[in-house]
Structure formats: C-alpha cells, structure tokens
Structure 1
Amino acid sequence: MARIRNTVKASGHTLLVVDDDDSLRATICRLLEVDGHEVLSAANGEEAIQVCRSRQVHLMLLDFFMPGMTGEDVVRAVRTFDTNVQIVLQTGYASEKPPRQMLRELEIQGYHDKSEGPDKLLVWVDAALKTYRHVQALHASRSGLEYILKAAPELHRLQPLDDLLRGILLQLQGLLGFSSAMVATLAPVEEITPLSGVVLTTELHDFTLRIGTGRFDQAEWAALSPEEQALIRSTVEHGELHLGTQVVLPLRVGERILGAVMVDHPHPGSGDLHLLEIFATQAAVAIDNTRLYNLATTDDLTGLMNKRAWLARLEETTQLATRHALPTSVLMLDLDHFKAVNDTYGHLVGDRVLATVSGCLVRHLRRSDVAGRYGGEELVVLLPHTPAAGALIIAERLRSAIAELAFISGGQAVSLTVSVGVASLLSNEGQVPEDVALDLLSRADQALYQAKHQGRNRVMQSADAAAR
C-alpha cells in the first residue's frame, strides 16, 4: 500500500484508490491530492479490504476489472463490515455489466466510465463526498435526511433520474422502516389515444411505475391491486394525502399533479410523514425539470439532441479539451440520396427512416458520446476523449451499421447509406473557445463534402488530421 501525502489545505476526507494499473493509480492519487484529500492506494482487492478494516475511508474509487477479486467482489466484502464508505466503481471495459444494473444490484454510489476523463471523475468524487457528509448527519439526526433529499436536483445531473430517486427511496426505507414503496407518474398525454371527445380523467389516464422497492420492485401498473390503483387515482385527482395501510402522497408541482408516491407504512409518525413529503416534493420537481429539459433539448423526430443543445455541448466540451489538452473529435453524417427516398416513398417513410437511423446511431455509440440532429438529414456526433484514430474507427462502425439496416415500405426494400466527415481537435493556441468549436465543426463539414464528392457511402477525415 502506498500513501500519498498532501501539501495543500486538508479537506478532512480520506480516499482510497484501488486499481491494478500502477501508472493510472498514481495519476488518480495526484489528481485527488490537489483538492487536499488524504489519499491511500491499493493494487488489488485484498489489499483494499485490509485498508478499509484498518482505516476509516470516506470514499473508495474502485476499479471493476482486476486480477483475483473483481470490484464487485470487493464491494460485497466491504459491505459486510462498512456500510458508510461511499464507493464509485471505475471501468473501461465495454463487456462489464451495464451501469444501471450495477447501481441496482450493488450498494455503490456511482459508476464512472474511464473514457469520460478526469473532469467527470472529480464531479463523482465531489458528489460522493457530499453524500458521505449527509449520511453522517443522518446518524446524528433523522432530520439530516433533508440534506440528501434537497441535493436531488444537483445529483440528478450525474445519473439517471429513476436511479437517483430509487436510491433516495431506499435510504428512506432503511431510516423509516417501511417495507415497500413506489413512485407512479401519469403517462404523457401524447402516448394516449382516447376516443374522440373524451376528456382524460384519472380513470382513463394511464400510469407508469417509475421506481419501486420491496414488493413493488420491477412491478408494472397492471400488477397493482384494483384497490391500490384506485387509491393512487384518487390521490392524483384530489391532490390530497391518504393515510391508511398505505400512505399515498401526491407528486405536486405548483397546481399540477404528476403522479403519486405509495408507501407500505401503516403507522407513520409525524417525522416520517415530513420526510416523505419532502421526498414527494423533490421527486416531483426533478421529474418535471427532466421533462422540461428534454422538451428543450431533444429533437422530436429523432430523439437525438437538437441543434442548439448539441452546439452548446460542443462548446462546453471543447473548452475543457483545450484547457486540459484532451483529445476530442466530431463526426458529421449525411444520409445519401435522402431526397430520393422522400420523393419516391413519401415524407412519412422518410421520417421513419431518419428516426431508425438515429436509433441505430445511439445503439452503436458509447455512453460518453453525444449524438444530435444538425438539420434535415444531417446528424452530428461529439466524441469526447477521442483522438483522430479512434474517431475513424467509430465513424466506420456507424457507416457499416447504417448500411446494413433493412427498411421495408409497401413491400419494397429501401436501401440507405451514409457519408461521414471526421475532424479532431488540433493545437489551437491563440484561438478563443468559440472559434475552436466552430473550426472543429467546419472541418468535419468539409470532410463530409469530400466524402460526398468521392462517391458517398464512405468516411473521410479532415485533411489537416490525415496529414499528421
């Protein structure tokens, strides 16, 4: 075990970095040292467990794939004697379990993809340490849970909303002693096709079980008893708290009610109700904020990020990349002969083709990549922490996957290919961040033009990168 001594003002937190890669482990330790943390390190799972037994570790950054004990094995072993340490798993292997499955199955607080770089790791560290401080407050007072609940909007930026709410609900469950709970929300109106002239009352409106614990875990609306469904509908319709064998609270944002929280908790005290009400309020605000954010940033047809939001993300990413010398690339894609598809089969078929291509794009990208619709049949992809060589591999993978898609319209096969332009961040001394982003996009557009000019259905790299 190596110990890294800090020379800056101490943060008061003890962190443990566990990774079998000596160089990477040392780099992460130095990165954390800058913030004044006491940093310990371990090269394998057995050594990490010994450190956790001998020291009070606040946060462990744990590599998932290591010889001997895996990260998953270490988590299960540590949780047998320490339930307080915050654990963020780190991984760089696509073959490992999906992040949402890991968060659901293991008692961890985060899941960091190493390809997302140091900035995202530091955000996870800050959030996990904040949660650690809040958890410590819980041991001193039940009212300490309010800190965690009120941190939900901030933590939502780091992980899917449903995972976040489920984690908070589980902490409430452990604190208050109820056995099961769930959050049900009204299905979006556009997903419902009522009869002409029918007003959507709660009796006709569909509900979605967003999250559940205990007997509600992975349950669906149809699995609830008629009495439970009626309780939820009544709570949503009248906006009033129900107390009984189950406690049901409305998810309210202003005058609107988005759904309800149901808890199996027959004898709640006033303090319990207070915490549940805080949870219902924070959950409603977070759900509504997510809906508004998606409306503002998502293209309706493709489900990808819209042009304005994507350009904003591009500028943010290039600012970080130029500041920290991180490789970054952009792909610009254009569907070949798409006008002929619209002219031959109609715009409805064209829309369906574009939506299908966009779905294919998302399936073949990494979690850290950001796809958007730039305009018409032009799509764009932002590839953070990706040099030119890696961007070419991804671009070719996308081109090949789209060429293999099968479209059928009126019994006829519709073939489609795509041309791709690739550009990567260059040394940009003297350029302001806005110019760096525009230059990167412009070079990808020029490469796309070359791909079109040379026969379509191909990937072309910007001339400056190809010459390097």
Structure 2
Amino acid sequence: MARINSKKAPNGKRILLVDDQEDYRIVTQTLLEREGYEVYTASNGIEAIELVKQQHFDLVLLDYFMPGGMTGEEVVQEIRKFNEYIQVILQTGYSGEHPPRDMMRALDIQGYHDKSDGPEKLLLWVDVGLKSAYTVQMLYKSRQGLKYILEITPELHKIQMVENLLQGILLQVTGLLGIVNSFLAVLPEEADTIDNISTSDIFIAMLEEGTNLEIRAATGKFSDNSPIERSLEGSKIRKIKDALIKTEVYLSNECSIIPLVVGETALGIIYLEQNDIRPEDVELVNIFANQAAAAIQNAYLYSTATIDKLTGVYVRSFFIQQLMREIRASFRQKSPLSLILLDIDYLKQINDTAGHLGGDQALSIMGSTLKKSTRVNDIVGRYGGDEFIILLPNTPLENVHNITERIYENLQGCHVEGHFGSIPIQCSMGACGLKIQDFEHGNIPQPYTQSYLEEIAKLLIDRADKMLYQAKKNGRSCAVIEQSYI
C-alpha cells in the first residue's frame, strides 16, 4: 500500500505507454507517475510511431495485440527503421504468442511482460528497460562525443593566433556542455611553459607567489577577465592548483576543473562554474583537453616565431610572407587589396621625456590599438622601430578610411606619462591599393613569378610610404589615402 499512497519525486525519465484499452492506460499511467516517471500515452501503433518520431522517450511499453490496427511486433519493426536505440518492452494479456526469448531476439527489444503478472512485475521490467536505456544512451553519447572531438581536432591544430585559439577552445567546451559561466586560464608565455617544466616545479613557485594563471578567454560573469584571485574564493583556487598538480579532472557539485597538460608541461586550466560532466565522460573530456593543450603549445611556438612580443603584432619577416601570399591571391581571385603604413608621431620625444620604458609602452599601446581596430582577416605587422604596416585583403581603397577613422577613434585617450605630464599617442598614416582590373594583362607573367610578386609588394610599400610622407608634411596625426590604384 505504501507504493500506492506515496508519490516519488520526478526522476526525469520519460515513458511512452501504448495500449488500446483505456482503463489499462489510466491505471498503468497512474502507477508509473507515482514512481516519478513522466508518462505519455497512445491508443494505437500509428499514434505511437508519430510520437516516437517527434519526441525523446527512454522506454516504450507496447501492447502486443491491438485489434483493428498494427500489432506490437509491427510497431517495433517500423520504429526500428528510424530509431535503433529506443528501448521497448512488449506487454501481452494473451498466451500463445511467439516464445518471449525468440521475440526479444528477433525484434531487439528489452522485455516481454505478461499483464497478468501484476504491477510489481511490470515495475521490475520498467527498471530493467530504463537501465538498458541508460547504458545505450551513454554509449551513444560517448560515440558522438568522440566523433565531435575527432571532427574539431583539425580546427584546433590550424595555424592561428593564441587568443583566437583559446577563445575557440572555451566556446567548444561551453557550447557542448551548455555552460554559461566559465574561463580558460593559462600560465604566462614568458614563464617558459613550453620548455618541459614539470608541474611540480611550476607549482612550488605558484604556491609561493600566487596562482600566476592569467584568464585569457571567458564567458558569462567571468567575461571581464579579472584576475583569478578576485574571481574565485580561496578554496576553489586551491582546487585548481590541486587539479593541475595531479593532472586530473576535478568534479564537484559547484564546478568542474579541466587541466591542460602536455606531458609534464602545465599550460593552464578550463574552469566551468557548474558540473555538467558525468564521471563516465571524464575520459572523453581528457581526450579533448589533451588535444587542446597540444594545440595551445603549438600556437605558443608559432607565436614565438611570428609575433613581436612588445607590440603583439606580426614581425616584419612574417608580415612580408603574408603580403606575398595575399598579392598572389588578389591576382588569382581578381580582388582588390589595400595597404596602410603607419608611423607613431614624435616617438623620439616620448623616449626623451618618458624614457625608453615610456616609448615601449607607446609601441605596445599602438600594437593593441591596431589589432582592436582591424578585422580578423586583416594582417598587422611591425615594419620598423616606430612604423607599423596593415594589409587589408579584399578591401577597395574607398573603404580604407573606415579603418583609419577607427584607429584614430580608438587612440583617443591613449597616453603615456612623461616628466612633464601626459603625452598623447598619435600617428600618421599613408595608404594605397592594388586592383587587378587596372593591370595590362599582357604585362602579367603566367604563372606569377616570385620576382614579379616581390616587385608588386615593393611598389605597394613604396606608394604607401609616399602617402605617409605626405601625411607628415600635412602636419601629422592624419591619414593620406592615394586616390588611384597602382
């Protein structure tokens, strides 16, 4: 009687009950709902098939014999055409059907219940069916998770900027798990994390000096990228350190911490505010974390070779490589491209009044401003001491002013402190463009030779330099854009 008079809390399991007898549906639905199940009902096979097509069910309780319509056997055969995973228990009130074992094997169902055995036996079969459903769902989820990881791995290992990679990794994890508040934190690149420093060595220093981890990508309430010490209480920071020392995923009711480790080299962690990772999914999470950590390490190596540490933009040699590539693409696709050469105004004066540290600060501010002001596919480089260069693929000259105006807008309020007060950071710019349609096609070698592309690159830079010189003659802190293409 206790089972009849007490109702259990909802357990999240959804059952479809299919039977042509209304009285039996009502009684059985009441019984199952008191056990905490969410129950849907159907009176015939066609209705049941449509429901299974439209919604997720953990288990189908299906009457074998429904006069005037499809038999339970026919319904299962139809369902298996589009859903091979759903668990089914056939019910019968009649004897003489096929032997249960043969029926279960032939139809790939999980049980065969005789209604005359009563409610306790039915609930026993429901437990068996739901346990089987859980196992199948976990196997399916693991298979899909592994497939997902294999599909995104090439994207992770694509050559790209570290910041873009870190943000992409975090969005992949949070999107997969549906997490709102999260962050990805790494050890500073200058901490030589790529030089085979063991986690124990790192954390001796970390325990003495603080976490040293920097939040470099974040979602939700962590999006302001505040230091970890201000974002989390001390107990969670200790959990982060412990997870990295042990190189193990940490799960609790409050959070998940995924270490990013390559061999014995600790790179950082992914922190998820709530725990949506099941213990059985930890192995898949570790596979993803290993791939992500390897991609981060490769991005660090790529960054070391191509990025100017002071300004955060490309070094000159790498920029020239990209320029040659984009000129070739411009000829091939018949698309325009534009080039901006930029000079920080009065950098010598900044060095004289604010010292070389002040000059370095001005260069750093300019680099970050240019990255902020340009698009993802634009290419920004440091061309000389105080000169920067910007390549704008697939951009006609008439659109260059959008970039130059954005740069000046973002420089507003930027300054360094000198001996005689604040010194504003300003710049002069010159721009020119390349448009393939304006070339005499008879003068273009086929295929494009390296020397010809180098000639075009030199011509572009020389034209932009002339425009920059004109901007300085005009009083600096302005942009001069050539009116015609080269």
**TM-score band, normalised by shorter chain:** 0.5 to 0.7
1:443 aligns with 2:463: no
Task: Name which of 375, 381, 386 aligns with 1:366.
Answer: 375
Aligned to 1:152: 152
Contact 1:334 1:418 in 2 (8 A): yes
- Hey, what's the Cα distance between the residues in 2 that align with 1:218 and 1:404? 21
Tell me, in whole angstroms, the C-alpha distance in 2 between the residues paired with 1:415 and 1:183.
34
Output one character per residue of 1:255-307: Cα deviation in whole Å (capped at 9) or x when no partner: 2122345676599454x222111122122122223333322222111112221
| Secondary structure of 1:420's aligned partner | strand
| Number of residue pairs aligned between Structure 1 and Structure 2 | 320
C-alpha distance in structure 2 between counterparts of 1:168 and 1:386, whole Å: 31
Change (3 A) 1:416 1:452: farther
8 Å CA contact 2:185, 2:214 repeated in 1: yes
Superposed counterparts of 1:301-340, under 5 Å: 301-340=310-349
Per the alignment, residue 228 of structure 1 pairs with: 236
CA distance in 1, matches of 2:191, 2:435: 45
> Using the alignment, how far apart are the partners of 1:260 and 1:416 within structure 2?
36
CA deviations 1:11-46 (Å, max 9, x no partner) are xxxxxxxxxxxxxxxxxxxxxxxxxxxxxxxxxxxx
Distance 1:210 1:347 in 2: 28
Q: TM-score, normalised by structure 1?
A: 0.56
The question of 1:173 aligning with 2:190 is answered: no
Q: Displacement, 1:406? A: 4.6
2:397 pairs with 384, 388, 397, which one?
388
Q: Structure 1 165/218 Cα, relative in aligned 2: closer, same or farther at 3 Å? A: farther
Structure 1 residue 361 displacement after superposition: 2.8
Whole-angstrom CA distance in 2 between matches of 1:183 and 1:278: 19
Please state how far the C-alpha of 1:324 moved relative to its aligned partner.
0.9
Whole-Å separation in 1 of the counterparts to 2:356 and 2:183: 39
For 2:401 and 2:250, the matched residues in 1 are separated by 58
Find the counterpart in structure 1 of residue 165 from structure 2: 161
Tell me what 2:298 maps to. Answer: 289
Deviations 1:225-249 (A, max 9, x none): 4443222212212334557667655
Supply the distance in 1 between the matched residues of 2:361 and 2:336 (Cα, whole angstroms): 34
Specify the SS of the correspondent of 1:375: coil
Shift of 1:200: 1.2
> Match of 2:243, as an amino acid?
T
* C-alpha RMSD of the superposition: 4.2
Say if 2:205 is the partner of 1:200: yes
Larger radius of gyration: 2
Indicate how the Cα distance of structure 1 residues 441 and 223 shifts in structure 2: closer, same or farther if over 3 A, else same: same
Look up the equivalent residue of 1:234 and give its one-letter code: D
Look up the equivalent residue of 1:230 and give its one-letter code. R
- Residue identity over aligned pairs, in percent, reads 25
The structure-2 alpha-carbon separation of the partners of 1:150 and 1:288, relative to structure 1 and needing over 3 Å to count, comes to farther
Paired with 2:356 and 2:241, the residues of 1 have a C-alpha distance of: 40
Q: Which moved more, 1:410-419 or 1:301-310?
A: 410-419
Map 1:380-459 onto structure 2 (within 5 A): 380-392=389-401, 394-395=403-404, 398=407, 406-414=415-423, 417-427=426-436, 429=441, 430-431=444-445, 432=448, 434=450, 435-436=452-453, 438-449=455-466, 451-452=468-469, 455=473, 457=476, 458-459=478-479
Structure 1 CA distance for aligned equivalents of residues 418 and 260 of structure 2: 43
1:166 maps to amino acid: L
Change in Cα spacing, 1:168 to 1:351, as seen in structure 2 (3 Å) is closer
- Say which SS state the counterpart of residue 473 (structure 2) adopts: coil
In the TM superposition, what whole-angstrom CA distance separates every residue of 1:312-362 from its partner, at most 9, and x where no partner exists?
Answer: 222222222111111101111223443344345432222222222333333
Give runs of aligned pairs for residues 30-41 of structure 1, distance below 5 A: none
For structure 1, the residue ranges without an aligned partner over 5 or more in a row are 1-137, 193-197
TM-score (norm. length: structure 2): 0.54
Q: Retained in 2: the 8 A contact 1:182–1:210?
A: no
Amino acid across the alignment from 2:282: L
Partner of 2:127: none
Find the counterpart in structure 1 of residue 188 from structure 2. 188
Cα-to-partner distance string for 1:132-186 (whole Å, 9 max, x where unaligned) = xxxxxx9966323223213434324589334432343245436xxxx78956534
Task: State the match for 1:349 in structure 2.
Answer: 358
Using a 3 Å threshold, how does the CA distance of structure 1 residues 337 and 171 change in structure 2: closer, same or farther? closer
Unaligned runs of 5+ in 2: 1-137, 193-202
Of 259, 262, 270, the match for 1:250:
259
Which residue of 1 is the match for residue 104 of structure 2?
none
Letter in 1 for 2:379: V
Shift of the 400–269 alpha-carbon distance from structure 1 to 2, 3 Å rule, reads closer
What letter matches 1:205 in structure 2?
T
Deviates more, 1:260-269 or 1:281-290: 260-269
